[in-house]
Amino acid sequence: MTRFMNKIEQSMLHEGVHFRSVCNTKFKTFRISVNFLLPLQKDTAAPNALLPFLLSRCSEEYPDYTLMSRKMASLYGATLGADVGKLGNMQMLTVSAGGIADRYALHGESVTAELTRVLCGALFHPALQDGLFREEDFRQEQRQTLEQIASEYSDKRIFALNRCAESMCAGEPYGISRFGTREQVQALTGERVTQAWKDMLRTARVEILVLGDIDPEPVAKIFSQAFGCVQRQYKPLTLSKPISHNTEISYVIDHQNVAQGKMVLGMRVEVSQLTQPELVPAARLMSALYGGTPNSRLFLIVREKMSLCYYCGAGYNSTAGLLFVQSGVEFGNMKKAEQAILEQLKAVQDGSFTDADIAAAKLALENGYCTAEDSLGALDSWYLSQSFMKKVYTPEEYAALVGAVSREQIIQAAKGVRPDTVYCLKGQEGENH
């Protein structure tokens, strides 16, 4: 096989089945991820969420966890993994596999081809009983999904962020939990989840990513044959930007038995991959300068100088066109902290930052992109986030785009930021000051 460094190739195996490979021989391993993108909807979020975990447990050929684990061990400690996420207005169901590069196999065998075959078996030929997912497998993954929902409820930082998104984007796909609600997961049946699996194979947009030291051709061939046996009924998916009709900031307050308050400010951003993709690098830099690094205004002024927050940082979602400022705040300081956070946004919009501030933000982002080149997992996330972009950039190429952003572009991106929702998590009502 010819060796390449960061050679990106893209093709379409079948309608709606996209294949992308990024070959880089500095790695001694490879990663294959199969990502099913479906509309994020209230009635399908819960059954869809169980699928990646059910499918990665076992398969018809390796019908229990022990046999599948033994097979992975025979492939030099290969792995199968699963995840559920959101990409804009879509639910993303991921099953991935990873292993050592073929050139390190002791007896010349193809780890790539065999692991791809096992992965395809898990996706297309799961362990079924009477045509349905087995009750024991289904119940275990249902229980673990409920535990995951409970853990996100217990982590108040995650809980506050989720509640802000849910409130801010009520009635929009982005406001729906990637797992669905606890009640929806509890109400699931094996029949419902099995039907969701069939619908996924038929209708989802599929993004297959192959990364690392690997020859992508055998992988593409195996997946092309597998999807060729599916009667696809694909309807093209497109990103949609959440739109708010709020003319004033909305306030949402929850009370729980917490010692430290949490406040999240949700903001709409005019710049997104959909609306002004050419300004997305500027919006990323604006977010970093505003609250994304230890040199940012939120950290240095609101947290350090004013001592209003235990933590305070901003994160920009370029796919959805949203920005969230998360903070840990004493109950009595929430209004002051909100005002200070909005004042720093106004300062960025007015251009009240130095060239040194810009340089520090650029350096932080550029270092982050360079770090992504060192992890197959990070690279997988990087390229998947570009699924709907007309041009695909390597992290190094994107770092150059950020490096070329001007002061005027930062201000332009900042002026397109509009505060929408303030979410506050406070202690029990009698405890507040």
Tokens 């609306």 belong to 275
Q: Is the dihedral of CA 170, 171, 173, 176 positive or negative?
A: positive
Calpha distance 259→251 (Å, rounded): 21
For the record, the structure tokens of 357 come out as: 């501030």
Of 219, 202, 235, 239, nearest in space to 33 by CA: 219
Q: Is the dihedral of CA 379, 382, 388, 392 positive or negative?
A: negative
Task: Kindly tell me the burial class for residue 198, based on how many C-beta atoms sit within 10 Å of its own C-beta (0-12, 13-18, 19 or more).
Answer: exposed
Per-residue pLDDT, 220 = 97
Is the confidence at residue 207, as pLDDT, over 70?
yes
Topology at the third CATH level for domain 6-227: Cytochrome Bc1 Complex; Chain A, domain 1 (3.30.830)
Domain 248-425 has CATH 3.10.20.30: no
**Partner residues linked to 426 by β-bridges:** 255
Q: How many CB atoms lie within 10 A of CB 43?
A: 9
Tokens 């986030």 belong to 385
Is the confidence at residue 430, as pLDDT, over 70?
no
Per-residue pLDDT, 238 = 80
Per-residue pLDDT, 341 = 98
Q: Is the dihedral of CA 290, 292, 298, 304 positive or negative?
A: negative
Report CA Rg, the chain: 23
Mean pLDDT of 293-322: 96
SS in 3 state form for 302-350?
HHHHCCCCCEEEEEEECCCCEEEEEEEECHHHHHHHHHHHHHHHHHHHC
For residue 236, what pLDDT band results from cuts at 50, 70 and 90?
Answer: confident
Task: Kindly tell me the burial class for residue 6, based on how many C-beta atoms sit within 10 Å of its own C-beta (0-12, 13-18, 19 or more).
Answer: middle
Are 20 and 9 in contact, with CB atoms under 8 Å apart?
A: yes
For residue 433, what pLDDT band results from cuts at 50, 70 and 90?
Answer: very low
Please give the angle made by the CA atoms of 295, 301 and 307, to the nearest 5 degrees: 120
Is the confidence at residue 2, as pLDDT, over 60?
no
Is the confidence at residue 3, as pLDDT, over 60?
no
Q: How many CB atoms lie within 10 A of CB 132?
A: 16
Of 245, 240, 309, 225, nearest in space to 273 by CA: 240
Mean pLDDT of 45-59: 97
**Partner residues linked to 312 by β-bridges:** 327
Per-residue pLDDT, 5 = 60
Is the confidence at residue 295, as pLDDT, over 70?
yes
Is the confidence at residue 149, as pLDDT, over 60?
yes
Calpha distance 260→333 (Å, rounded): 11
Q: What is the pTM of this model?
A: 0.94
Mean pLDDT of 56-85: 96
Per-residue pLDDT, 245 = 66
Q: Which range (89-93, 232-236, 346-350) has the least confidence? A: 232-236
* CATH 3.30.830.10 domain range(s) in the chain: 6-227, 248-425
For residue 195, what pLDDT band results from cuts at 50, 70 and 90?
Answer: very high
Q: What percent of the chain has pLDDT over 90?
A: 89
Q: pLDDT per residue over 24-34, tens digit each? A: 889 999 999 99
Are 45 and 38 in contact, with CB atoms under 8 Å apart?
A: no
Are 67 and 248 in contact, with CB atoms under 8 Å apart?
A: no
Q: Is the dihedral of CA 189, 194, 200, 203 positive or negative?
A: negative
Mean pLDDT of 371-384: 94
Q: pLDDT per residue over 399-411, tens digit each? A: 999 999 999 999 9
Per-residue pLDDT, 1 = 40
Are 412 and 418 in contact, with CB atoms under 8 Å apart?
A: no
Mean pLDDT of 151-160: 97
Is the confidence at residue 244, as pLDDT, over 80?
no
Please give the distance of CA 247 from its chain centroid, rounded to a whole number: 29
Per-residue pLDDT, 6 = 67
Calpha distance 21→69 (Å, rounded): 27
Phi and psi at residue 325, in whole multiples of 5°?
-105, 115
Instruction: Write out the H or E segment, with its range, that includes residue 217.
Output: helix 216-228
Per-residue pLDDT, 239 = 79
Kind of pairing between the strands at 17-24 and 311-317: unpaired
